[in-house]
Structure 1
Amino acid sequence: MATLHTPDSVAGPADFTPRCSNQTVPVSPVGASCRILRCNSDFVAATLDLGSGSSSGGAAPAGGAALSREAVNAGYCSALRSYDMCTKRMARACRGDLAYHSAVQGIEDLLIQHRCPRAGPTAQPRPPPQGTLSGDTCLYDRSFFGREGRTPEYLHCGVFGDPHIRTFNNEFQTCAVQGAWPLIDNEYLYVQATSSPVRGGTHATVLTKITIIFKNWRQCIDQQLYQAELDNVPAAFADGSVWSGERRGHRSLTVRTQSPGRHAEIRAAHIGTLLVVRQSGRSLGLSVRSPRGVVEAFGPEQDLQLCMWGCPTSQRLNTLRPPPPDSLASAPIGAEAHCAALLPDRDVYYQACVFDLITSGDLNSSTAAISALQDARNMISDRQDVHLLPVASAGQARPNVTLLLLLLGMLGTLSCRD
């Protein structure tokens, strides 16, 4: 996928991480009320649409059009000033918090680096929650059943490997993606994935970072941030907490793990959504199960979502015809046999396995397709819907059927004339 780069002088959200943010800091009575995460996540949310200045590439804003250098820098300075104001409001509560003091120093450095005036516009704050909530409002499944008298329809999206995408519409694509791109962008949730070339390769790319922002929603949750990187899949949110948004004994957001450092399962009860982040081999993967009402809650400006529509048509790769590896010697012998032994159904997961083995030359890359298939089995209620035909095969079948129907129609017309 072609990527758009912001000017080198403008940092993207991924370029700034508060120093010492991964250190474990004892929680004191003062630090317990410190909400530096709110400032951090607001800054990340305000700068996501500005793109990334990292060397691995960047993404266009949600609307798809590149911003000018001046517009990007102005937006970045506006976000920094808001960030600065937020930390000042937290100064008393965050006294002695290492992450807070690291953020303050980082903001100062970035304001100078980008020559941002101290005075000027700031990013608009989120509106406060309105009204009171009924008992089940923060429990999506119960609330939906109370309104509709039935359970919601759930959709599944999976992203894994080189990367391969199973969209919410059950389309399967392999994309030539580099840089940061939004997977999901709706009223409740923003998910961004960063894909980078495999070291030493020119064809293969893998997911190396996943950012998830749960947006502030009424009185159920305050905005919460989760980030995972290769070799660091934390079983906690960015602030170190494992749950948030408790109301009447129920927690809206929870994180747990089956394999510390390599797996995280995030449940968002207020939107009935489950997200699984895992590392398989040398790549990250993401699986999502979310109600249709949540998935489709977005406006026309949120028109770039790989989980909804996949990648642009011109940037889709044919999974059945993987590009040659950089070195013929690096291609594993018997890739098809290896994948067939692990994935006996000749579906899209089998094809993805073969594709990844050929392009990367790494036998361990097959674990990405295996994990994605297992997540799909866990998230899709109808077992018959788990397996999809390879994209190219399905795509070739439709024109043949259409042509046959046209021919039958023409023959029927000729028979009537006779």
Structure 2
Amino acid sequence: MDEVRCNFLPRVSEARMRMCTLFGDPHLLRFDGTMQSCTEEGARPFVDNRHFLIQVTNSNVRNQAHTTAVNKITLLIRNHNCTPSLRYEAASDEETLPISFVDGVTGHETDDHRKTVEEWSSAKCRRYQHMGTLTSSESLCTTGCRNRSIIEIDKVLAASNKYARCYARKLHVPIKLAIGEQLEP
């Protein structure tokens, strides 16, 4: 009988790395670099591939139109030769983030003690360019928001006060910080 092995992919250069992030009201930066604002309510896959699913649930906040926030995140790690099926859930109504998966497990190691799953209290999703075909075409990181409310970031930064008034928003983040410049001490 052949031994089942856990094969790790070789490291790939940072130049081929893509990132997707969801933050704020919520704003979405997709794998392709497009910035959008997601004002829809309900659950959507953030990333969905053969290895795992990250699902985010948005709900209305402050009873204002077009004002939503992520109130739940669910991570499903799919069973394959490196890991068992695992489920992690975190909701905004909890006082602290859960420190384990739903079944109490905090991670998984292979027989030769290499970690295949471990839990951290921050989240971001990065993928290697050649793994693009492994992502569902219906995920937020690939196709974006259903309502297609694309933020033209250059226009927003050029006229941030006008943008804030138009959408009845207060500016909470200094522009230099929002675009990644170093703030003066």
- TM-score norm. by structure 2 comes to 0.76
Is residue 190 from structure 1 mapped to residue 53 from structure 2 by the alignment? yes
SS in 1 for 2:141: helix
Distance 1:155 1:173, change over 3 A: same
- Correspondences of 1:278-357 after superposition (within 5 Å): 287-298=124-135, 302-312=136-146, 314-318=147-151, 320=156, 321=163, 323-325=166-168, 332=170, 335=171, 339-340=173-174, 343-345=175-177, 347=179
Equivalent residue letter for 1:288:
C
What's the CA shift string for 1:10-29, capped at 9, x where partnerless? Answer: xxxxxxxxxxxxxxxxxxxx
Q: Which amino acid aligns with 2:3?
A: T
Cα pair distance change 1:346/1:157, threshold 3 Å: closer
Matches within 5 A, 1:80-229: 132-134=3-5, 137=7, 139-140=8-9, 144=10, 151=13, 153-218=16-81, 220-229=82-91
Aligned-residue Cα RMSD (Å) equals 2.8
The alignment of Structure 1 onto Structure 2 pairs a total of residues equal to 168
Q: Which string of whole-angstrom CA distances, capped at 9 and with x for unpartnered residues, describes residues 327-358 of structure 1? A: xxxx64xx3xx522xx52563x79xxxxxxxx
> Offset at 1:243?
0.9
Deviation at 1:180, TM superposition (A): 0.5
Return the letter of the residue paired with 2:176: P
Structure 2 residues without counterparts, runs of 5 or longer: 157-162
Q: Which residue does the alignment assign to 1:248?
A: 112
The change in CA–CA distance for 1:197 and 1:317 in structure 2 (over 3 A counts) is farther
Counterparts in 2 of 1:251-262, with a 5 A limit?
251-256=115-120
Structure with greater proportional strand content:
2
Q: Any conservation in 1 of the 2:35–2:151 contact (CA below 8 Å)?
A: no
Name the CA shift for 1:246/1:231 in 2 (closer, same or farther; >3 Å).
farther
Find the aligned partners of 1:210 and 1:304 in 2 and give their Cα distance: 17
Contact 1:183–1:306 (CA under 8 A) maintained in structure 2:
yes
Code of the residue aligned with 1:344 in structure 2: it is K
Counterpart in 2 of 1:55?
none
Instruction: Report what 2:159 is aligned to.
Output: none
Once the two structures are TM-superposed, the CA of residue 315 in structure 1 deviates from its matched residue by 3.1
Q: State the 1:242 CA deviation.
A: 1.1
Specify the code of the residue in structure 1 equivalent to 2:83: I
Q: TM-score, normalised by structure 1?
A: 0.36
- SS of the residue corresponding to residue 315 of structure 1 reads coil
Do the aligned partners of 1:235 and 1:255 also contact (CA within 8 Å) in 2?
yes
The sequence identity of aligned pairs, in percent, is 23
> Which residue number in structure 1 is paired with residue 103 of structure 2?
239
Tell me the distance in 2 between the aligned counterparts of 1:171 and 1:318: 8
